[in-house]
Structure 1
């Protein structure tokens, strides 16, 4: 898959040497295009870009979207993932993402050290932002892979085969880091405001604090199978986003959205019949047609929707595809509509007496107005939710789950995957799950996690042992979903 990097234009000068001192030779031999000490206001921009484009929005999203059937893998690598042909258990499948995630966290670790005890000590705003990103990337890493190297990682030349840390312990670090970030973002800094170097919030500390609280709400709910605390979820929600203008997302007009890139370069993802069936099961859902593009299968034939039957249709590029694709679509790290669905679920789980659909309606309304090229803002969310015939708390909880899932199309697939696995633990079985997946291969081969990257499977005996032959992804749940690792 393509990786998205910032490109530096290099000016190369020629020169001649007659004689040089050793000091001069040392200066000449330095690679000025790979500096060892980068000012944090430059490094933080790169960390934001890699977090969104390389880590959240690319391979992890593509593959997880296929597994939870928001998209269908109709061709190439995505077809292999769809048909469970090697991709879910291969150590090479997610290697690019694995390496990118660790590189991003290493860079953020350097920023945190620089702003804590290093040359920019007291740069509290950049420190807080780096901590939010660090916590987000750590949660993303362990959510995807479970137990991973962390406390002994990031020590090149010192520890060559770091141990795997338990997911439960990693989540303690995630929470502590976000809490520290909120404290630091509340401090006064004498360093210049990041401004446009902050691609997400343009240096607005208040919005970064809202994002940190929103992530705390998400991760507290994530642990609800292990340690439910819905009242705390609601406290965090109350301190987070108040509109989609606060969303934790990144749009960079110089770098096309990864889904746009994949569609133009490869054409691997297509319209999922499983998703279409769920939309059509709900009367008057505007997304039933608005999510997809009609195609003409043969010359002169009428335009029709052609859906890929999950796990069964043959490999081809002759299927309908997303109608939302646009090069300028944002990459969501945490959307406003997700936050409102978190609130709705926490309220409903906090008391069995809750049957009001008010919070669900607000979340659906936000989903109809999500920031993508096509929106469904003309649809009356209250009338739509009223037509869902929710009569009790159990009905409400199930519909919250489904509506949240539907809102994640097309590029919030990582969270759809995390949510599906969390709810699988809560409901106890795929049969009882509010979101019914259609791929018949799921009976024995639903990927409960992603495989470790080849870089460490081949070089770190601790990871090699945990990887085995890769088939553990079909049997081993991550810790927060009821597993042991």
Structure 2
């Protein structure tokens, strides 16, 4: 970990030195023993860490998990999000994530340029990996905020108020970048493998290609309301993971899982009554007990479950919490169980004649065996699914949606949020939605997107105009969910 801290310091030093405007001062301050041009094998490590621990794994996951009721916000700012008190419409709520996402993409852009036309031209492996991460971060950015600055962004000192690009156009870039990544990862390079600098796959290009195909499957399904193509989804799935050992995730022994950090330092997230009700409604679901910790409300009292009633319970830290929390838990960018649920849905949507539960069973089995501290590997997934009594294609599709949602607890909340919004567009109404949320405030205050970050709302007239008073988050879907921006 000390090595990565040194690398990060080098990156920061490089940014600071390159931002100086006077050539003379640059020469005076130059330290020949402290290089300012960091090789991509080091900067790509920092980009992996910021993507996982900084972007997908913390604030975005905490807030979206509350909105889709995988978690409940019982205290502090998470309680404000739970009760829709300022947080969902404030321009400051997601500002740290907003800035981190843009900084990560800027760093990846520099890596891509260096490996394409710069001094590391021909470094195809690092180029392909950077492109996968770039596409992933771009999709995350537009999934959360809709139309965002992109084509005129990443030009410090040149364009000060970049325009917003349409989500439809940004998704075309996501797909093209992933396809380019697959091509580059298949090329032979004279550059050494990243090895341990690659904190995700240790330089295994085959696994990176599988991750890229898995992301293509996810994003193709994401567009199913606008541009359904389930045959293409299945084609991508067939070229992706074959076990959880290949899934797109990251552990870093030097950095605790963000959920562990939040619980350990602040204690803001608690067990959602809404989630428990869905588990409890399914006979013999082991997660109804296994997902949560019993608590003792007072000395001498018995240990019991105390669930937070979504949107209703008072602010307190005296509720049950996740039983899955552990500092060593991975951060998932695309899990094996998600991929199998994508496959199951694509098959069922491809033909109304499909009523087989074989693919659903495989996905549920993978969910029972997800790579976290507690698993349910002894549970008979086939018997569990058979007990659900699925006999029609419509019932199969609804149960796939619910089981996928249940599998995302606790730190895949962003994808649960994306899926909920996609399905809301496809089913046409809250009443018809397979996942019934219980927070009464959702009648008119379900956040359909996240607000732009304060850094740009206050400095970019284009973002400021799109932000307005922030209440648009309750009214306007993103493009792929039926909106216009």
Partner of 2:194: 194
CA distance in 2 between partners of 1:32 and 1:325 (Å) = 45
Structure 1's unaligned 5+ residue stretches are 12-22
| 1:47-446 matches, cutoff 5 A | 47-446=47-446
CA distance in 2 between partners of 1:314 and 1:7 (Å) = 41
Residues 264 and 226 from structure 1, CA distance in 2 versus in 1: closer, same or farther, beyond 3 angstroms? Answer: same
CA distance in 2 between partners of 1:93 and 1:411 (Å) = 19
SS at match of 2:110: helix
Structure 2's unaligned 5+ residue stretches are 11-22
Partner of 1:8: 6
CA distance in 1 between partners of 2:335 and 2:456 (Å) = 32
CA distance in 2 between partners of 1:32 and 1:77 (Å) = 46
Q: Deviations over 1:4-50 (max 9, x none)?
A: x9533989xxxxxxxxxxx9985551368986421000000000000
CA distance in 2 between partners of 1:244 and 1:156 (Å) = 41
Q: Deviations over 1:173-192 (max 9, x none)?
A: 00000000000000000000
CA distance in 1 between partners of 2:321 and 2:160 (Å) = 44
| 1:15-54 matches, cutoff 5 A | 27-30=27-30, 36-54=36-54
SS at match of 1:122: coil
CA distance in 2 between partners of 1:465 and 1:240 (Å) = 41
CA distance in 2 between partners of 1:484 and 1:24 (Å) = 49
CA distance in 2 between partners of 1:225 and 1:291 (Å) = 32
CA distance in 1 between partners of 2:79 and 2:33 (Å) = 40
CA distance in 2 between partners of 1:385 and 1:188 (Å) = 45
SS at match of 1:7: helix
SS at match of 1:133: helix
Residues 156 and 26 from structure 1, CA distance in 2 versus in 1: closer, same or farther, beyond 3 angstroms? Answer: closer
CA distance in 2 between partners of 1:29 and 1:117 (Å) = 28
CA distance in 2 between partners of 1:429 and 1:91 (Å) = 28
SS at match of 2:304: coil
Q: Deviations over 1:330-371 (max 9, x none)?
A: 000000000000000000000000000000000000000000
SS at match of 1:332: strand
CA RMSD between the two structures = 1.7
Partner of 1:20: none
CA distance in 1 between partners of 2:361 and 2:374 (Å) = 20
SS at match of 2:55: helix
Residues 288 and 157 from structure 1, CA distance in 2 versus in 1: closer, same or farther, beyond 3 angstroms? Answer: same
SS at match of 1:436: coil
CA distance in 2 between partners of 1:310 and 1:166 (Å) = 34
Q: Provide TM-score, normalisation by structure 1.
A: 0.95
SS at match of 1:88: helix
Deviation, structure 1 residue 203 = 0.3
Q: Deviations over 1:248-281 (max 9, x none)?
A: 0000011000000000010000000000000000
Residues 182 and 303 from structure 1, CA distance in 2 versus in 1: closer, same or farther, beyond 3 angstroms? Answer: same
Deviation, structure 1 residue 195 = 0.2
Partner of 2:481: 481
SS at match of 2:249: strand
SS at match of 1:120: coil
CA distance in 2 between partners of 1:74 and 1:206 (Å) = 43
SS at match of 1:356: coil
CA distance in 2 between partners of 1:403 and 1:385 (Å) = 10
What is the count of residue pairs matched by the alignment? Answer: 471
